[in-house]
A and B are shown apart, each in its own frame.
Chain A
Amino acid sequence: MSTTHRLALPLKDDDLARLEVGDLVYLDGEIVVTVGLPTHKRIAEYLDAGKKLPMDLAGGMLCQVGTFVEDIDGEPTSRYINPSTSTRFEPYLPTIIAGLKLKAVGGKGGVGPKTIDAMRQHGCVYLSFVGGASALTSEAVIKVVDVQWHDFITQFRLTKLRVEALGPLNVGVDIRGNSLYDQLTEAAKAKLPDIMAMLNRERGTSQ
């Protein structure tokens, strides 16, 4: 049975322990977003080299989420946010999760096996946004706290946002390394022979 949680960031260990795959979550607090592959690469390189990152990410939540930030009346303002596909960051996420002891990664569509391993080892969850629902999701952003690495294009910069009731986010991977996406894919593969038999029956032919 799935549960809906309202949680404060940074996530605490007992909150993390309660989250199960398939649960829904709403978050309050600060998240860091970027959809840049070069940004993830640079974070991993900084961690490997022991260099200090330009904003504090330790124990926090890093999201593969794009945003357009522009100055309105002298204030940096996020015009909209929405998630990107997380699996493409697989080469860097394990290093980043381990190096920063992240408690949560956000994006959409799940993460790859090495990232799941890192999440299990370091007590980190994966929270999936609803893709294509930018209009409502963006309403959770109440402040742009910081933007760094201005040499990147807008959506690749490291952007820290303060959010209120951000969600619904789906717990895709829990701290025990259970992955909703792996479970669904395995279940679909297991059903495939029956599905093909149904197709053959309805078509009236099979080889």
Chain B
Amino acid sequence: MAITYDLVKQVSADLYEWSLKKVPDDTLNTMRAALETESGENAKKVLKFMLLSAERAEEEDRFLCSDAGVPVYVVKIGTAAQLDGDIKRAFADGFADLVERIDPPILKFVQNPLTNERSYQGKDMPIVSWDLKDGADYMEITCSPKALGAGRWAQLEIFVYPTLEDIEKYIMDCVIRAGSQHCPPVMIGVGIGGSFDHAAKMAKQATLRQLGSENPEPILADMERRLFKAINATGFGPMGQGGDTTALGIHIDYSAGHGFTPVAVCFNCWINRRTTARIFNSGTVERIE
């Protein structure tokens, strides 16, 4: 038995479809909790409407948003996993299959940045980050599609020997620049250190961590707690209605690097699209969320 082209094609496509129709449970629970503490009357109404709409989408197999974004995957291949076939091609073929079969149909969102033409396919699409997982006998695939609404507000700046205060000020500036255009309450990911490319990847992957989980690095755990309070003190609120609920959470990762310290900040809108499954050597597929 092995992890085959057919399985990867099927599972990667399913993950994308599920991510378009269901808000992750941790996100819904965080929003329900926010509804209890939110002080803005209209902010409460908007949060309730979001939660009801998410429930309706799940019950009736409908889209959360009309914008399906583009498929983005994070793949971790176990070093004991056995692969069979063109696994890289399976992602592109799975996307093409999904476009044919998904109901309701998705719109054309894959844009060529050189010509602005739109279609259902394009260079490097789907976007996949590959990684290894020592010892595992499975491939873990996470789908977290991205669209303009939240995607355009991500920022990265290279600092030299920044203090924690410099970093936190930069994050607050990114938050205020985005305002409420990224459909808050948002999930915020931050990557500190490493290199230009690695910081961006850490920021993206930080958004995938479960809400409510503790950062294993105590300095970052504290930073997350105080920034969460700080961001919600800005007052943008759900969809810019004004209120206490601007962020669902802020997750930060770091990497050792050199004296130059990239800080990358990115956002997921409130539907926080994210699904994960594991495909084992046995051919078993386990849906994590």
Contacts and interface: CB of A to CB of B under 8 A. Distances in A.
A181 B66 contact: no
B178 to A, nearest CB: 9
Given A128-B239, A133-B54, 20 more contacts: A22-B42, A66-B107, A84-B149, A109-B181, A130-B46, A130-B239, A132-B50, A132-B269, A134-B66, A135-B54, A136-B56, A138-B62, A153-B107, A155-B108, A172-B240, A180-B241, A184-B180, A184-B237, A184-B240, A185-B176
Given A85-B181, A168-B49, A2 B41 contact: yes
Contact of B235 (A110, A184, A199): A184
Nearest to B242: A184
A191 to B, nearest CB: 6
Interface of A: 2, 22, 24, 65-68, 70, 79-82, 84-85, 87-88, 108-110, 128, 130-138, 153-155, 168, 170, 172, 180-181, 184-185, 187-189, 191-192, 195-196, 198-200, 202-203, 205-207
A170 B234 CA distance: 19
Contact of A68 (B105, B149, B180): B105
A134 B65 contact: yes
| Most B Cβ at <10 Å: residue of A66, A67, A203 | A203
Q: Which 3 pairs, one residue from A and one from B, show the smallest C-beta to C-beta distance? A: A82-B66, A109-B181, A133-B53
A70 B107 CA distance: 11
Contacts of B239: 108, 128, 130-131, 170
Contacts, number: 180
Contacts of A24: 42, 45
A158 to B, nearest CB: 15
Interface string B215-258: 00000001101110110011111011110000000000000000
A196 B244 CA distance: 17
Contacts of A170: 42, 46, 239-241
A109 B235 contact: no
Interface in B54-93: 54, 56-57, 60, 62-67
A90 B270 CA distance: 25
B135 interface: no
A127 to B, nearest CB: 12
A85 B106 CA distance: 18
Nearest to B117: A153
A22 B223 CA distance: 33
A85 B149 contact: yes
Given A82-B66, A132-B64, A133-B50, A198 B179 contact: no
B104 A68 contact: yes
A131 B41 contact: no
Interface string B130-169: 0000000000000000001100100000000001110011
A130 B50 CA distance: 8
A130 B42 contact: no
Query: Interface size bucket, B side?
Result: 35 or more
B269 A131 contact: yes
B236 A188 contact: yes
B66 A185 contact: no
Given A2-B41, A185-B176, A203-B226, A155 B107 contact: yes
Contacts of A87: 181
B49 A130 contact: yes
B147 to A, nearest CB: 9
Interface string B158-196: 000001110011001000100111110000000000000
Interface in B96-126: 104-108, 118
A70 B105 contact: yes
Nearest to A86: B181
A132 B181 contact: no
Contacts of A188: 176, 179, 234-236
Given A192-B172, A196-B172, A207-B163, A184 B236 contact: yes
Contacts of B206: none
B67 A168 contact: no
A80 B60 CA distance: 13
A82 B229 contact: no
A133 B271 CA distance: 9
A198 B53 contact: no
Contacts of B104: 68, 79-80
21 contacts: A2-B41, A22-B242, A66-B67, A68-B106, A108-B181, A109-B240, A130-B46, A132-B64, A132-B270, A132-B271, A133-B49, A133-B53, A133-B54, A136-B49, A138-B62, A155-B108, A184-B180, A187-B235, A188-B236, A191-B233, A203-B165
